[in-house]
Structure 1
Amino acid sequence: MTTPPPFTRVDVSFQSGDSTCSAWLYVPDGVVSPPVVILGHGLGATREMRLDAFAERFAAAGIAALAFTYRHFGDSGGQPRQLLSIKRQLADWDAAIAYVRTRPDLDGSRMAVWGSSFGGGHAITVAARHPELRAAVAQCPFTDGLASAVALGPVASLKTAPQIVRDLAAKVRGGAPAMIPLAAAPGSPALMNAPDALPGYQAISPPGSTFRNEVAARVALDILTYRPGRAAKTIAFPILFCVSNTDTVTPPAQTIRYARTAPRGEIKRYDAGHFDFYLGDPFEALIRDQLEFLTRQLAPTSATSAP
């Protein structure tokens, strides 16, 4: 007989700007007013791409978890589809925080943010903007657009230029966005074409996933100038950086330099690639460290009996 999980998952949505974000809320059973961690994914990814695996483990440890999908992606609202706006995604994080505070069954005074890859960069930015939070986790975080562009290589970057120009023209005309792959094979035009990028996305996309391997090309210019790592030095509360030693997308040396500027930063390093963090032994190592960190910062209680 299968033992039921020690938490309840419900489908929720919350208002963000002119539309809504779809999310899963995991509430630990029998825990009164649990602390909360908000989870956001990486570049173009949606919550069903293994955010549930992390959220389930947090909820089993007594920490409620809100895993959401950004506007314009997956089953969240927003038009046009596949538009990646850094400004709008950061607003989605703000909206998620505001939503948690409306929930009487959650303790909004004990809240953390958790982001992976591009979402890890957002988690740094959001943590700097919300000093009322208790903690943050930045997993294989995107910290510097210029450093990532250098890792991609100038030739590969130039290959994306025609699509960027077409998409910018479409934006001016009010037409449908011109798309570019998020991940592709080495040598192909894409935002990421490291050898492990396309297999990495495929490995974490379950059957029936809402993920689409494309995005409006205009975001490439915004990514180049986005440097969330610079905000690490302004984060006063604890933040955990989980860094891949062999990261092909977010260069680890630059990430470590930024992480060391965080006044209460903690750094964990792993001999696993950027896309390995979501599965198998690397996932188990990560979740063990993240649970230890979040338990220390959020002080969850064990399940209690009703009075």
Structure 2
Amino acid sequence: MATNMREQVEIKTHDQTTLRGWFYQAGSKAPVVVMSPGMPGIKEHFLDCFAERFQKAGIATLLYDHRNWGESDGLPRHHSNHQEQTQDTHDVIYYISTRSDIDPNTIALWGSSFSGGIALIAGAVDPRVKAVITQVPFVSGNAARARLPDDFLAKIYTDRGETTFLKPTYIPAFPNSLEQARTQPYAAVMSTEESWNHYQDVTALGHNKENKITLQSMFYAIRSEPAAFISQISPKPLFMTIGLHDSLIDSQLQKQVFSNAGEPKELLKLDCGYFDVYKGRRFEENISAQIAFLKKYL
């Protein structure tokens, strides 16, 4: 069949929020990968490159924006509630399992960074998921909380008391300048120099999106613990990609969490940073290994 064909789809969640995304067809009764962006990403931020490669390999893909982001509905905008996003994942899996053009017995769940944590949680507990792929995953809110200075942590909780749901405080998602990235480590959620460089690549794609996220997104992030679920994934196969020079998530912690997973499991260790897994040579290594994993287990 022709590749690069995709269908606009709308999915209603349990609370009737509309999620929007793209379905990449791959023939009749094809295996399927369910994909979602990390925080604060949208589907156009290099994730379509993964979806197109899965499709060319004969694997259908459903790629969608989380509630409050991109083309999906939900308020407040630019807000990530890790628990809500995880719950929405089960609704997306229901949607894809009812389509006549996929095999409901071959559903894989894919996540990256923040959604990598979602993949670990939802993949562990949802019996419809048959395989899990997670790359540079967010694995521990406790670890994230421990890295925050006391004044920033206090700001998160004070803000929750002083603001309302629909009138939130916003902070930058990425640094506003290279100098800020180098000198102000808590000026943005993703505040490293590597993050600044990636933001330039994202901007060059032409998908305009305000550089902001609610401060309360951090409240939900530091309360989520995907690592607690990883041992429950087995006997489903698990694939994890880590960047050994990740500037945002401790790769040693990721390896430690991975060691708690049961078999079958595969770990791809790339000699690169957090964002390199999306682009260039490291992307090619990453996507080739992921396709081989899916061909093996789906």
Residue type of the partner of 2:3?
A: P
What is the match of residue 241 of structure 1?
A: 240
Q: Which runs of 5+ in 1 are unaligned?
A: 299-307
Match for residue 117 of structure 1 among 102, 105, 113? 113
The answer to whether 1:202 aligns with 2:200 is yes
What is the match of residue 128 of structure 1?
A: 124
Q: Which moved more, 1:278-287 or 1:160-169?
A: 160-169
Q: Which moved more, 1:191-200 or 1:265-274?
A: 191-200
Q: For the residues of structure 1 that align with 2:75 and 2:220, how far apart are their CA atoms? A: 19
- Number of equivalences: 288
Q: For the residues of structure 2 that align with 1:251 and 1:238, how far apart are their CA atoms? A: 23
The answer to whether 1:9 aligns with 2:10 is no
| Post-superposition offset of 1:94 | 0.9
Q: For the residues of structure 2 that align with 1:14 and 1:205, how far apart are their CA atoms? A: 28
Residue type of the partner of 1:260?
A: S
Residue type of the partner of 1:180?
A: I
What is the match of residue 95 of structure 1?
A: 91
Q: For the residues of structure 2 that align with 1:217 and 1:116, how far apart are their CA atoms? A: 21
Q: For the residues of structure 1 that align with 2:89 and 2:206, how far apart are their CA atoms? A: 25
Would the aligned equivalents of 2:17 and 2:74 in 1 still touch at CA under 8 Å?
yes
Would the aligned equivalents of 1:49 and 1:206 in 2 still touch at CA under 8 Å?
no
| Post-superposition offset of 1:109 | 1.2
State the Cα deviation string for residues 9-47 of structure 1 (Å, max 9, x = none).
11111001231111010002xx32101000111112110
Match for residue 143 of structure 2 among 147, 167, 173? 147
The answer to whether 1:257 aligns with 2:256 is yes
Q: For the residues of structure 1 that align with 2:82 and 2:161, how far apart are their CA atoms? A: 16
What is the match of residue 301 of structure 1?
A: none
What is the match of residue 273 of structure 2?
A: 273
SS of 1:74's partner is coil
> TM-score with structure 1 length normalisation?
0.88
| Post-superposition offset of 1:283 | 0.4
Q: For the residues of structure 1 that align with 2:106 and 2:276, how far apart are their CA atoms? A: 30
What is the match of residue 282 of structure 1?
A: 282
Larger RCO of the pair (alpha carbons < 8 Å, separation 6+): 1
| Post-superposition offset of 1:206 | 5.0
Q: Which moved more, 1:73-82 or 1:110-119?
A: 73-82
Q: For the residues of structure 2 that align with 1:223 and 1:93, how far apart are their CA atoms? A: 17
What is the match of residue 162 of structure 2?
A: 169
Q: For the residues of structure 1 that align with 2:77 and 2:59, how far apart are their CA atoms? A: 32
* CA pair 205-167 structure 1, distance change in 2 beyond 3 A: farther
* CA pair 201-270 structure 1, distance change in 2 beyond 3 A: same
What is the match of residue 178 of structure 2?
A: none
| Post-superposition offset of 1:297 | 1.1
Would the aligned equivalents of 2:11 and 2:20 in 1 still touch at CA under 8 Å?
yes
* CA pair 278-74 structure 1, distance change in 2 beyond 3 A: same
Would the aligned equivalents of 2:81 and 2:221 in 1 still touch at CA under 8 Å?
no
* CA pair 79-221 structure 1, distance change in 2 beyond 3 A: closer
Match for residue 158 of structure 1 among 151, 155, 166? 151
* CA pair 14-260 structure 1, distance change in 2 beyond 3 A: same
Residue type of the partner of 1:294?
A: L
State the Cα deviation string for residues 37-92 of structure 1 (Å, max 9, x = none).
00111112110001100000000010000000001011110122112111211122
Residue type of the partner of 2:19?
A: C
State the Cα deviation string for residues 97-128 of structure 1 (Å, max 9, x = none).
01101211111111000100111111101111
Residue type of the partner of 1:170?
A: T
| Post-superposition offset of 1:200 | 1.6
What is the match of residue 230 of structure 1?
A: 228
